[in-house]
Chain A
């Protein structure tokens, strides 16, 4: 009996979400990308071993919901945002505006008080100049504001995520966080009116309340 986790892949139109998801699930390059209309669902596998309980490895299905980034489809995208366990925010390293829009995407998709684990991915690093990459060793602006790690990769290069690289380590840690979020027991009663709700991350809440 294998459990499933739902990971949203969000970002502006044309940043490379479909290529990224194909790389993560098939470990190969997407040869003929087409514009994503609505949602494209791909599934990958991940072995999870809990360090705390020391149980045996369990296999998890990672469902990547690759949502098309057209601005005019904004009113119909809300149907995809329920029951999310992890969010991948993708931006284009050659276009800075896509990074600035990431906070808007996070705000649009986070419906509840609880924010699931987030990972920021900068795509198209092969089209970028080397000095732009060197300026951001610990993550760019968006990752710093949201308070989450960042990966820079090229979706056409299968070696970006080969085992042992920093990127692969960060990605595995993100998958583990997502699975832990999924397995966490939920509070059965909602908090009473007037009771303080504890926020998991101060930076994330600042973002949600419209900076």
Chain B
């Protein structure tokens, strides 16, 4: 297979990933908004395509598809393009859209571009200072080399990965396991609904009164010919009784109470839906998965702590270690070369797919929660940047899970980085994130349990 035909294969798969990213963006992420700037759509799809392309190249490395020369060429191309996206294109356009949405700045295109450029330069300076406390600089690297950039992107990406994994590892069992499901009675829900409607009736009564008072004030203002507001208020003060403004403020207080009741109702309904879901077959399956994840989370916490305390560095990857156990301790007769390739392929493939799917789901959740009409473009660009850094760092960390013969391409392409540092950094941040998530969820759970006991006492 020549470089030419390999490139055709790679280009075809890149186009397929680009189309996938495009469709995901239009049909799912941006389904409630209109795409007004095509650069947002294109940069998101290109980031997604490059990320999937990198995982694809790892798989090809393991399976031995394509020429080694073309693989190396495509690796360098992907890494270079990804760095340009993450460090130049995405930050610049984020600054540009942020400046466009600020209404107090001048509207001229050239002024906005200049300001965006200034902000981008500030971002690059910050990005550079970020890497100083970390052992990224090696004496045999130049100042503007590839390793410097990848090193810094790697630090940010590994931090994001560890934060998300830590929180996800704790939150997923909590949301799936039936032990934590709060039983909600229908009477509690009906009670809150009744209270909400009563509060709204009160607000309506006050606002009706305020509307009549406003009409009277307007009529008396017209009749007497005065048009100044303080004379109308003085006239009202001479009359006995409240003004429209005071009744309006009372109504606003009741409305605030109504808002709190609505949020409580929403919590109860969500808990009720969760309880109903847990009784279905799918709910039971998720419960089982939750227990499995709980065990995995505890094991990961212990291993991270041990790694940090004893400063242990894993030399052997899990695939080789598992095969070693099978052959030497359990006595199976296996073709180590063949099985090592098979297991690595499936392990890396599953990890790649689950990490892509997991990140897309998390990003979608963040986007739906935080985006609005004004900030939709900025949010998508930020999410694309997070996605790019995340996938670049996951390639970096995946190196540890592969046997030595497949590792060297990553080492070659990413340069001479201190890989052990990144694993140690991941362990530290994972530990911090998981422990703070446990503390946070514990406090929130205690509060909701306390509130539901209080409610049931009130109803009795």
Decide yes or no: A41 and B204 within 8 Å by CB, A13-B372, A61-B211 being known contacts.
yes
Contact of A42 among B31, B207, B258, B270 (CB under 8 A): B207
Query: By CB atoms of chain B within 10 A, which of A13, A39, A61 has the most?
Result: A39
Among residues of A, the one whose C-beta sits closest to the C-beta of B190 is A79
Contact A43 B263 (CB under 8 A): no
8 Å CB contacts to B: which residues of A186-203?
Answer: none
Alpha-carbon distance between A98 and B32 when the two chains are bound, in angstroms: 7
Contact A12 B204 (CB under 8 A): no
Is B269 a contact of A75 with CB atoms below 8 Å? yes
Q: Give A96's nearest chain B residue, CB to CB.
A: B34
The answer to whether A97 touches B32 (Cβ under 8 A) is yes
Q: Mark B187-214, 1 if CB is under 8 A from A, else 0.
A: 0000001001100100110011011101
Chain A residues contacting B261 (CB-CB under 8 Å) are 38
- Check A97/B34 contact, CB under 8 A, given A39-B262, A73-B266: yes
Task: Encode contact with A along B205-241: 1 for CB under 8 Å, 0 otherwise.
Answer: 0011011101100000000000000000000000000
Interface residues on A, range: 20 to 34
Indicate whether A149 reaches chain B with its CB closer than 8 angstroms.
no
Annotate A19-47 by CB proximity to B: 1 below 8 A, 0 otherwise. Answer: 00000011000000000011111111100
A61 to B200, CA, bound (A): 15
Name the B residues within 8 Å of A43 (CB-CB): 204, 207-208, 210-211
**B408 contacts the other chain (CB 8 A):** no
Expressed in whole angstroms, the Cα–Cα distance for A14 and B33 within the complex equals 11
Residues of B within 8 A of A170 (CB): none
Given A39-B200, A40-B255; A97-B31 close (CB under 8 Å):
yes
A150 on the B face (CB < 8 A) = no
Q: Are A92 and B373 touching (Cβ within 8 A)?
A: yes
Distance to closest chain B CB from A66 (angstroms):
11
- Please determine whether B207 and A95 come into contact, CB atoms closer than 8 angstroms: no
Which B residues are in CB contact (< 8 Å) with A44? 211
Residues of chain A contacted by B207 (CB below 8 angstroms):
41-43, 63
**Taking each of A43, A72, A73, which has the highest tally of chain B beta carbons within 10 Å of its own beta carbon?**
A43
The distance in angstroms between the C-alpha atoms of A101 and B33, with both chains bound, is 11
Contact B203 A95 (CB under 8 A): no
The residues in B between 352 and 406 inclusive whose CB is less than 8 angstroms from any CB of A are 368-369, 372-373
Residues on the A chain within 8 Å of B212, using CB: 45
A38-B273 contact, Cβ under 8 Å, with A14-B373, A96-B34, A97-B31 = no
Partner of B273, one of A25, A41, A75: A75
* Docked-complex contact A38 and B372, CB < 8 angstroms: no
Q: For residue A68, which residue of chain B has the nearest CB?
A: B262
Taking a contact as CB atoms closer than 8 A, the residue among A4, A37, A94 that contacts B259 in the complex is: A37
In Å, the complex CA distance between A98 and B33 comes to: 8
Q: Is there a chain A Cβ closer than 8 Å to B265's Cβ?
A: yes
Across the interface, A38 reaches (CB within 8 A) one of B208, B210, B259, B373, namely: B259
Count contacts between A and B, CB distance < 8 Å: 72
| Partner among B34, B211, B269 whose Cβ is within 8 Å of the Cβ of A76 | B269
Q: Chain B, interface size: which category?
A: 20 to 34
Cβ of A76 and Cβ of B373 under 8 Å apart?
no
- In the complex, what residue of chain A is closest to B373 when comparing beta carbons? A14
**Residues from 36 to 87 in A contacting B, C-beta threshold 8 Å:** 37-45, 61, 63, 71-73, 75-76, 79
What A residues does B265 contact at CB under 8 A?
Answer: 76, 79
**Which chain B residues border A98 with CB–CB below 8 Å?**
32
- How many Å lie between the Cα of A63 and that of B34 in the bound state? 32
B197–A79 touching, CB < 8 Å: yes
CB distance from B362 to the nearest CB of A (A): 16
Residues of A within 8 A of B273 (CB): 75
Chain B residues 19-73 with CB under 8 Å of chain A are 31-34
Assuming A25-B211, A43-B204, is B269 touching A14 (CB within 8 A)?
Answer: no
Q: Assess the A12–B32 pair: CB atoms within 8 A.
A: yes
A61 contacts across to B, CB distance below 8 A: 208, 211
Instruction: Report the Cα distance A45→B216, complex, angstroms.
Output: 12
Q: Is the CB of B200 within 8 A of A41?
A: yes
Chain A minimum-CB-distance residue to B218: A27
A76-B262, A96-B34 known; A41-B211 Cβ under 8 A: no
Q: Which residues of B contact A (CB under 8 A)?
A: 31-34, 193, 196-197, 200, 203-204, 207-208, 210-212, 214-215, 255, 258-259, 261-263, 265-266, 269-270, 273, 368-369, 372-373
Write 22 A-B pairs (CB below 8 A) sorted by A numbering. Answer: A2-B208, A12-B32, A13-B372, A25-B211, A38-B262, A39-B258, A41-B200, A41-B207, A41-B255, A43-B204, A43-B208, A45-B211, A61-B211, A63-B208, A76-B269, A79-B193, A92-B373, A94-B34, A95-B33, A95-B34, A97-B34, A98-B32
In the A-B complex, the 4 residue pairs with the closest CB atoms: A38-B262, A43-B207, A76-B266, A14-B373
Given A37-B262, A41-B200, A97-B34, 11 other A-B residues pairs in contact with their CB atoms under 8 A: A13-B372, A14-B372, A38-B261, A43-B210, A45-B215, A61-B208, A72-B369, A79-B197, A92-B373, A95-B34, A97-B33
